[in-house]
Amino acid sequence: LFNGFWIAYVGLPSLAVTLAGLIGFRGVARILLEDRAIGGFPEWFNTLGQQPIAGPLTLSLIIFFVLFAIFAVVLHASAFGRLVYVIGNNAEAARYSGVKVRRIKMALFVITGVISALAGLLYAARLGSVRGDMAEGFELDIITIVLLGGVSIFGGSGNLLGVGLSILIILNLRNGMGLANITGNTQTSVIGGLLILSVLVPNLTEMVLNKWKGRKA
């Protein structure tokens, strides 16, 4: 809600506000917890992230698949999803067409915040304790997954199928490097390189296609 206000109603860039919020809230967590870890959660809470619910599936995986299916339907087969794409393509045109751009942007950031909070709770349940620096560096993986999955950083394009496949690629890449005893810093470098490629390749492809169309014309 806090981030959505500055983006939807004040008009600040979403990427800048999101990163500033990340740094700010992480700083507050470190001030409150310092170098300490807090654990001792109830057994039922730890069970949510550690014990299989159905065969190899934990509650986290079940929630992921359910939410993935729900948001796939909402994004690709509902009026709200179509409005999200319209706003991503051209927010001004959407506004002049009568779309409540600010309200939809605010709703998107509130939904994102709720899902992020849920992910944080499940992550805490999986580890059994929390620290102020939990999930540090995860943002690099997330941004890489999104861009590698075909989502435009400027909005208006992308689909959940591509993001789902990208999740599998990054997870398998991380697991493979871990099994090969590759250090965390090297893993981060590899993911960073993949992030650069995920931005560079689409731009180069579009440039080549534009030149080819120009010659053909």
Q: Tell me what pLDDT residue 84 has.
A: 92
Higher pLDDT pick, 47 / 103: 103
Q: Cα Rg for the chain, rounded, in angstroms?
A: 20
Euclidean distance between CA atoms 129 and 50, whole angstroms: 12
Query: Lowest-pLDDT range, 15-24, 96-105, 200-209?
Result: 200-209
Q: Is the pLDDT of residue 50 over 90?
A: no
For residue 130, list its beta bridge partners: 38
Query: pLDDT confidence of 56, banded at 50, 70, 90?
Result: low
Q: Tell me what pLDDT residue 108 has.
A: 93
Q: Identify the burial level of 69 via C-beta atoms within 10 angstroms of its C-beta, where 0-12 means exposed, 13-18 middle and 19 or more buried.
A: exposed
Euclidean distance between CA atoms 140 and 209, whole angstroms: 29
